[in-house]
Structure 1
Amino acid sequence: MEQAALFTIFGGTGDLAKRKLYPSLFRLYKKGNLKDHFAVIGTARRPWSDEHYREVVKETLQELNPTTEEAEEFSSHFYYLSHNVNDTKHYDELRVLTEKLDEQYDLSSNRIYYLAMAPQFFGTIVQHLQSQRIVTKDGFNRLVIEKPFGFDYESANELNQQIRAVFPEKDIFRIDHYLGKEMIQNIAVVRFANNIFESMWNNRYIDNIQITFSESLGVEDRGGYYENSGALKDMVQNHILQVVSLLAMEVPVSFSDESLRLEKVKALEAIRRYTPEEVEENFVRGQYDAGELDNTKFVSYRKEPNVAEDSSTETFVAGKFLIDNFRWSGVPFYIRTGKRMTEKGTRINVIFKQVPVNVFHFDNEDKQELAQNVLTIYIQPTEGFSLTLNGKQIGQGFNPEPVKMDFRQSAEVTENSPEAYEKLLLDALRGDGTNFSHWDEVANSWEIVDRIRQTWDQSTPEFPNYAAGTMGPKAAFELLEKNGHEWNWHPDNWYRERGKLN
């Protein structure tokens, strides 16, 4: 069904717009969600013409193999306005163009403002949208904003107040692109559509939960940004805590954005707020050194472009969250994320408790440990599930051995499934906030992360402390060992066994 709307993209010449937004809008166009009644205004400082802007848009579509007619027709809906976000006069020009396109394409005053810019401009932009009467009283006005949403709780709260002065919470769509990923959305289905799991989704049956966001790349050309962020703010505050809330929340009364948000916020509120001593006990940070993996050499983080020679910015975080409620008391949620690790991969491992008594060991035999049952949710690059069970070894006797029930989406299905930004843009068009972050979620995440950051800022770490190509510093493994656990996923072992990693 076609959705009528005008998209105004602040930062329309940027990398995000070209890599994600324009291809995603084109996919929606091909599927009929956008057709005749839509238009896009791109704004930025560059003095482009409409014609040049449309050529840029068409270039971003090449991997999607559009026909010449499709590319021409789609790009004809795009208009460009050279714009200084601090110049009030430019907003008057934007209002004139907005009103013209609204009439030309019969858009019913439906407007989506996408802020693909640095967050320090968010407040200025929304204030001008109101003062220059660009926000309408008819139709809908929705604001889509990218992370980072502030750099701590105080700045995020100030930013939120500026935005909420113009847009109500229901019209603010804070993008976390991981919430648009197929397997992240599958977490709720796995839990709530399968009694075999939901009935056991508690501290009676689950030993620990492990969440890994591993990146094989270094910081590449993002050194300047990363120096002011680090892995804690870049990954833990948003993506990882969102996943924790989905895993830990109670069953919602209905599958609506309001019910889901309510339960996610309750889960985040139940995460223990650590004292400085508890932070030191339960969280580890790291920074990658030079390394070599499979005959490929990597430089250290401090040698990357736009990174200080004595940088103390962390490129790796591992930690243990505890959730103080009836369902999860005593179950550690282990998390880790880092740059320049062994493999790119995002996965969740739910480790179930052992049976109370192992009947499969006999007095005349050595005790044979049973493998733990593990549910693995693969998020990227592969998508699917696996469940590790104990079965009988073939042959004489009743010796158990682990067997894996495995399902992975085919390459064809994965390639043709909607991209995260495509799904999130369509949700914004429909006014569905289910897969976006509510302010209460953001606020709780910053409260948790600020305590870790403030503790770490009181001391200088001994960096670098892990070699590029490995799965993080030694302390990240000791973190689990002292609790009698170990990381379930260790791809570095495969390379070490073959002499490809020291």
Structure 2
Amino acid sequence: MTGDIYKQCIGEPTEPSNIVIFGAGGDLTKRKLVPALVKMLRCGLLHKKSRIIGVLKGRTQADWLDSLYHGMHEYAPDIDIDAQQWQTFSALCKMVPGDLQDESTYAELATALETIDGCTHAMFYCAVPPEWYTTIAIGLNKVGLGEEKDGFRRMVIEKPFGMDLESAKKLNRELQAVLDESQIYRIDHYLGKESVQNLLVYRFANSILEPLWNRNFIDHIQISAAESIGIEYRANYYEKSGALRDMIQSHLMQVMTLVAMEPPVEFTADAVRDEKIKVLRAVRAIEPENIKKQTVAAQYSSGTIDDEPVGSYVSEEGVSPESATETFAAVRFYIDNWRWQGVPFVLWTGKRLPRRVSEIVIRFRKPPFNLFDAQASSPLANALVFRLHPDEGIALRMNAKLPGLTTEMRRSVMRAPYSEEGGDVADAYEVLLHDVLIGDATLFSRADEVEESWSIIQPILEAWKDRLAINRYHAGTWEVEGMEELLSDCVLGWHKPPY
């Protein structure tokens, strides 16, 4: 990072605020939150009078700041922050030592909050395991930090929002007992991706798409998140979660609601979320006898990725050798409403696949009669692809004639990169932290959304919970048993990303 740390960029300015991070010595803080806050300060999206307060125990403030500084260089080297620029940022930081179970910690935090320009705004970010969310909310409430007397009070929690329907309802009840729903921000970093947000603009700002966006023209939709990495350091979490909870219930179902929703009456948080919940409520329940037909679960075995051998899931540190946890999951949903009746929505995700690619593939129906099928080198079908990662943008796949004295066909692709000039695309946490500070809840899940999505997934969880074995696929391949069958009646079948 060169020049003045206060470099302006596009975005609504925020008011001076206290940004409180519970679990400020943890991995999330070092990897994501602090780099995002540094960039926001650089861009003017974080007010330079704001204060960053870390709540943690067992360290001095000097040790904590030193750890964050080294974390910047390890996890966000592209920001290229030097010692002087770090000093500017760290001057905004202070630490409140204490245990989250100790009431005195919250009393000391109340004293540490600063009144800036006549207001004591506060955002409380829970960078801690989910079992601490209720403890923190109750602790804040006991010392009056849930009351919005002299400024806003907003609590941010990370997924998972429960591990099933019952636990999600319990968490919502506990939080809503001490906070208003409008104060609770359930953060899903996937919705903070610029390319996901741009999906709404592509849909609702381009009249050319709307006439085609329905069952009359669309054969099916695939929403995917393929990863080449394994579970890394998350064995303890992943063994309890699996791919279905980790990606489909949260990230991919949220994207599905954006793809399928009706145009909101206005672009406000409640209007957008009202349309999203309508989509979830229209999802057809998966009957127990149809779960095998509409789902796929698999686990990676050893293989090769980028010419490097990789081990199996059960060989990962912290994973049981008998584990039947899925690292690949796919679900075929139907949305029973006027627009989407009969159109399959196939959501799939997996680890240790050949490459990291996230896409939304809109496959259109074939023409009822095509004069050129005989001349096509491959089956003719159109597709609109929203690329979420890498090379964010949109691609329209059409059919064209090969040059020369022939009528042979080939597939032609028209591409619209999201950032044509290689501009700085904001990280998801920058977007979402900024939205919390300005009070925009559009990209955050409401309690009813969370519970509805869990209710859709619950029958699958029940069917999978007692399994003793699971199908396996070799790391670095697309050889996942059941996927071809899952999409056998869909135009061109399973879309395996070509790059």
Q: TM-score, normalised by structure 1?
A: 0.92
**How much does 1:413 deviate?**
2.5
Q: Does 1:354 align with 2:366?
A: yes
Cα deviation, 1:219-256, whole Å, max 9, x if unaligned, reads 12211111011001000110010011001101111111
Matches of 2:104 and 2:450 in 1, distance apart? 33
What residue identity is the alignment partner of 1:487? W
Cα deviation, 1:358-408, whole Å, max 9, x if unaligned, reads 1236xxx67877521111111012211110111122222433322111233
Q: 1:107 to 1:391 in 2, by over 3 A?
A: farther
Matches of 2:152 and 2:479 in 1, distance apart? 47
Corresponding residue to 1:480 among 473, 477, 487: 487
Matches of 1:193 and 1:178 in 2, distance apart? 22
- 5 Å matches for 1:229-308? 229-308=241-320
Q: Does 1:394 align with 2:403?
A: yes
Report what 1:426 is aligned to: 434
Q: 1:308 to 1:168 in 2, by over 3 A?
A: same
1:48 touches 1:81 (CA, 8 Å); kept in 2?
no
Matches of 2:327 and 2:216 in 1, distance apart? 35
Report what 1:112 is aligned to: 123
Q: Does 1:96 align with 2:111?
A: yes
What residue identity is the alignment partner of 1:444? E
Q: Does 1:142 align with 2:154?
A: yes
1:338 touches 1:472 (CA, 8 Å); kept in 2?
no
Corresponding residue to 2:457 among 437, 449, 468: 449
Matches of 2:269 and 2:27 in 1, distance apart? 30
Cα deviation, 1:159-215, whole Å, max 9, x if unaligned, reads 111111222112211110010101111111111111221111000000010111001
2:328 touches 2:348 (CA, 8 Å); kept in 1?
yes
Identity %: 38
2:376 touches 2:409 (CA, 8 Å); kept in 1?
no
Q: Does 1:187 align with 2:199?
A: yes
**How much does 1:427 deviate?**
0.4
**How much does 1:275 deviate?**
1.0
What residue identity is the alignment partner of 2:370? N
Cα deviation, 1:120-150, whole Å, max 9, x if unaligned, reads 1111110110112233422100011101111
Report what 1:500 is aligned to: none
Cα deviation, 1:290-320, whole Å, max 9, x if unaligned, reads 1124431111101100000100111110121
**How much does 1:458 deviate?**
4.3
Matches of 2:234 and 2:316 in 1, distance apart? 9
Number of residues of Structure 1 aligned to a counterpart in Structure 2: 482
**How much does 1:485 deviate?**
4.6
Q: Does 1:469 align with 2:481?
A: no
Q: 1:153 to 1:375 in 2, by over 3 A?
A: same
Q: Does 1:382 align with 2:391?
A: yes
Q: 1:108 to 1:405 in 2, by over 3 A?
A: same
Matches of 1:27 and 1:270 in 2, distance apart? 40
Matches of 2:15 and 2:165 in 1, distance apart? 36
Q: 1:275 to 1:60 in 2, by over 3 A?
A: same
What residue identity is the alignment partner of 2:473? Y
Matches of 1:149 and 1:237 in 2, distance apart? 10
Unaligned runs of 5+ residues in structure 2 are 1-12
Report what 2:209 is aligned to: 197
Corresponding residue to 1:128 among 139, 144, 149: 139
Corresponding residue to 1:6 among 12, 15, 18: 18
2:17 touches 2:47 (CA, 8 Å); kept in 1?
no
Matches of 2:45 and 2:306 in 1, distance apart? 45
- 5 Å matches for 1:202-221? 202-221=214-233
Matched residue SS, 1:471: coil
- 5 Å matches for 1:309-324? 309-324=321-336
Matched residue SS, 1:375: strand
